[in-house]
Every structure is written in C-alpha cells, then in structure tokens.
Structure 1
C-alpha cells in the first residue's frame, strides 16, 4: 500500500470527503495541524485506535491526545473546572492541550486514554478543526511518525516514514508552530506543566494569574504524551550544548552565533539566524530530519536559550539525546 496524498489547498472539499470516509472505515489518516502532522483516527473506535498504535509502533501505556472541533464539542467528553475553561477560551483553537477528567460513558475508548480516567483535549486550528467538525467525533492524533522518532512537520516527512502503511496523507504544507502542543493539568488552584510546547508557559501564567509548576524529570508516571525519557530521536546520536564541532558531525546552531570548528562540520544549519525562538521551534524538526538524512553519526547542537518557546525546544532536544533502548 502506498499512501494517496491530497493537497488540501487545491482540493479542500475532496480532502475532507476522503478523509471522513477513511476515518469512518476505522483507518488512520495523516493530517496537518499547526503543531506537527498527526496520525488521526476515531477516538471512539477501539479498532481504529489499535491501528494508530500498530502503525506507529507506540507503547499502549502512552495515552493519546483527543482533538475536538471546538470547546462545545470538548464539553461533551470532558469535565471543565473554571480555570481550565479560562485557558481553553484564551488559547483554543491553538497548541494547548488540557488534561481533564473524562465524563462518564462519554464514548472515548479506554485505549485512547491508556486506561486513565482523564483525557488530553485540544482544539486545533485550520483544516484539522474543519475535518473534526465534518466527522463529528473526536480524533485521537499523535504525531504521524514511527514512535520515538523525529516528529513530522511536512507531508513529505510522513510519506518517507509511514507512506507504505497509510491509505491517505493530507498535505497542508509546512507546519506553522513546528513543535507539539503544550500540555497542562489543573489541580485545584495548581497548574502543572506536563509537556512544554507551542505556547510558552509564561503566556499561560499571564492568563491564569498564577505560576505554572514544572514536572519532575524523569516523570514518575506517564500522564500525557511526550513524557517518555527518549523521544523525538533521529537515527544519529545527539550532542547538546556543543561549543565546538568534532569531525564528521552535523552542526545545528542558533542565533547566528559562531561555533568553533564549524568549518569542519558535515553541514551547518541555523534554527534562526536572527535569534527568533518561534522561528527556531518551527524549524527544529525539519532541520533534525535534514541533518539525519545526511547520514552523519552525530548531530551537535549549540545551546538554545531556555525561556519562552526555548523551553519546548530544549525539552525535545533533551529527549532526542537521551539513551535509547535500541
């Protein structure tokens, strides 16, 4: 099987119709979102969810985010406290996932939540939201890549990795944000950051008018996606906070800052020559894909500031550089 690819900018209605039909058959479909490309399937259908796990090779103790068309749809499946509602009203549609208690008998299958009594809920921007509205059921949609590998930010990335395992890939161009959603969980008056992502914790703090508490690392329990120690990994090994390049390494730097030995690097990429963290986040996975495709054994990555979206970038890089089981 080779995936059919539809450009949603040229054939939006056909893309919606074909994707809805495949989803109704219980098949996963690769869809563009503003964060990364997602491998979407009906979150109420256990066979469809199983196909997500099988296609990705994803461990089943790792829960899936359930994507909704809007807040009203999310309220059919999850219970909102006042603070979570305020965050939803401020940041949806957008790259924020809220971990919320499931409503009793709401229809989301336990396979999607890894048996937890809570669910990660997000309302994506653009075409993904239109598709969910058309389908009228939540879509479980982890990143459309082999589990643990670099997340896809283009249809080409998906096709290269999973193209022989899928019937349909929807091409929406390059993802705007380029890293996954920020995941938070409200517990009474506390907000815990389970995964940094496309919305800076500082922006959440301004709306919530309280401090966002960081998660211990490594996490004692898996409450949301992206909490595994090793994740987002290229084939090459990753060396962080590099101040000098070693022979044969590909260099990824930031802000145009010189790195000693750059002239001997196999290639040099700059996440943002101007030092723009939003641009760096958008380029991160694409540049990791490009560096990995060069066949280098190691990727050296210069230091990235840890404020704002830099927190999400560094989170992904730390997990990409973590020891692996294989």
Structure 2
C-alpha cells in the first residue's frame, strides 16, 4: 500500500515512522543509522543509557546481529515470530549503531509477528530499532491516536493498523533470566527452559527504569474502591469508571491496560486508581507495568 511504501522510503532516507507491532506501537528507524536512531531519542526525550530493541524479519537476520547460544536457539525456535526479545552478545561487525545498544556489548533483538511491522521490515530491507512510540516514561501506545497525542508533529508518519493485540511490551530474556515480564510468560518459558525471573543492577535492556509507562496523574494500586477525585480502573468484581476486564480475564486486561490508562489520564479526575490484578501468568507483566507507572 502507498503508506507502507512511503514509510519504507522515509526509513531508507534516515527518517522515523510509527508502526504497530503485536505488543504496542513502535517508533522505528534504521538500526544501522546513528543519526536516524538519534531522531528516535530526540522525539521521545529518551535517556541515552536506555537501549533499544532491534526488530528483524527472521532468525537468520537476527544471527547477523547477535551471537546465539543453544538456549537462545531453543527460545527463538519456540517463540519467534512473537513478543519475545532476547538480549545476546552483539556480533562483531554487525553494523548496529552504538546508540541502539547504549554502548553495551549486548543487543536486544526480536522477530515480530505483526503484519504491519513485518511488511515494513521487508519493504525497508533494514533492521529496525523501535521503542514504544510515546514520550519517554509516558503511557505506551496501543492505538495510532495514542501516538499522535503523545508525540504529535515529532512523528511525520503513523502506520495505523488498529489496536494492538497483546497490549503490553515484549518479554525480555537474557540467558535464563527474565529482565522484563510480558506476553510470553514465565510459565510458557519454563515449558522449554528453566528460566528464573530477576533483574540486573544496571539498565541492560529496555523497560528497566524504575519509573516508566507513567500517566501524568498520580496512580494508586490495589484499589477496591475509588477515592475522592480518583478515576477507578476496575478488574473482575471491582467495578469503576473503566475496567481492564469485567470477567477477570488477565489476557484481556493486558490488551486493554494502556488504553484504559490513556482514558484515565484524559479524564477530569485528578488521580487514578487501579484494582488488584492476580500476579499469575501475564498478570506479572501487567503488575510490572503498573508498579513502574506508580513509582514517583
């Protein structure tokens, strides 16, 4: 389609475009072009020590960028294309801009499943660095209008393919450690490898900052009722002004998470409250995002 060809042309010319993935909308640029990657950081106001994920078309393309061990091959075979990012040693001569890796010896790489991102990768014929298409530390975008509201004229083109399906960012794994929970849950990972949840002392992958995914308004967690001036986001039996899932479905809650936060932030209320969500399965990813959103 014309918009896709225009987006690919902009990428090849060193520009940035917003594009949906199955997780959230990303702000994409050629990962080999340091000036283009710098435009991502400038548009987002992103700290330059926070690395970016490189999106590629398939395992062969990933292996041209990163060094795979047996564990990484097992995970990539099982979960790619899909919402799993692997942090691996950067291959010598990979050509990835140092801004992408924040100067680290590792690179975060993913093979996405979404048709729009895969089409853009193919048309642009380039690995794409693509963090979430929102102002740094803001609420992640799951619709094109979220991108426009957050970044405005800083993004010259948005490929609109409707709402994303997963609704939260990809799971990030380094070795056998989960650095960021996501749609590929710990339980799913444990079916193929004994993966332990954990965290590193320094920022080695996207989404590890203590404050992240944050609305402009103060956020209260584990709320069973709304207080004065609060917009209550319910879950299951806890009803409110909006709900993550009236039926208590954590998968539906993940898909709706950032959309409900955007609506809450745009409301007339001065504060936001969110009902408890069970920690099991993808609930771990939901609660990770909510804890970071509430951290001030």
* TM-score category, normalised to shorter length: over 0.9
**Could you say which residue in structure 2 is the equivalent of 1:258?**
238
d(CA) in 2 for partners of 1:29, 1:258:
39
Instruction: Structure 2: give runs of 5+ residues left out of the alignment.
Output: none
**Could you say which residue in structure 2 is the equivalent of 1:23?**
11
**Could you say which residue in structure 2 is the equivalent of 1:225?**
206
**Could you say which residue in structure 1 is the equivalent of 2:197?**
214
1:92 to 80, 84, 87: 80
The 5 Å alignment of 1:118-267 reads 118-125=106-113, 126-186=115-175, 191-208=176-193, 210=194, 212-216=195-199, 219-255=200-236, 257-258=237-238
2:60 is the counterpart of 1:72: yes
Q: Deviation at 1:233?
A: 0.4
d(CA) in 1 for partners of 2:278, 2:118:
32
With structure 1 as the length reference, what TM-score do the two structures score? 0.89
**Could you say which residue in structure 1 is the equivalent of 2:50?**
62
The 5 Å alignment of 1:31-50 reads 31-50=19-38
d(CA) in 1 for partners of 2:150, 2:156:
13
d(CA) in 1 for partners of 2:268, 2:183:
29
d(CA) in 1 for partners of 2:169, 2:144:
16
d(CA) in 1 for partners of 2:123, 2:229:
49
Instruction: Structure 1: give runs of 5+ residues left out of the alignment.
Output: 1-12, 263-267
Give the SS at the match of 1:168. coil
Q: Deviation at 1:258?
A: 3.5
Q: Deviation at 1:41?
A: 0.3
Q: Deviation at 1:220?
A: 1.4
CA RMSD of aligned residues (A): 1.0
Question: Paired residues, what number?
Answer: 295
On the 8 A contact 2:19/2:159 being kept in 1, the answer is: yes
d(CA) in 1 for partners of 2:82, 2:287:
21
Give the SS at the match of 1:149. coil
Q: Which has the larger radius of gyration?
A: 1
d(CA) in 2 for partners of 1:245, 1:294:
14
- Structure 1 residues 282-326: Cα deviation after superposition (integer angstroms, max 9, x where no partner): 000000000110032211111100000000000000000001xxx
d(CA) in 1 for partners of 2:122, 2:192:
27
On the 8 A contact 1:242/1:303 being kept in 2, the answer is: yes
On the 8 A contact 1:37/1:143 being kept in 2, the answer is: yes
On the 8 A contact 1:69/1:130 being kept in 2, the answer is: no
d(CA) in 1 for partners of 2:20, 2:7:
12
Q: Deviation at 1:247?
A: 1.1
1:307 to 270, 280, 284: 280
**Could you say which residue in structure 2 is the equivalent of 1:319?**
292
On the 8 A contact 2:21/2:117 being kept in 1, the answer is: yes
d(CA) in 2 for partners of 1:15, 1:59:
30
Give the SS at the match of 1:78. coil
2:290 is the counterpart of 1:290: no
Give the 4+ runs in structure 1 shifted more than 4 A.
none
Give the SS at the match of 2:154. coil
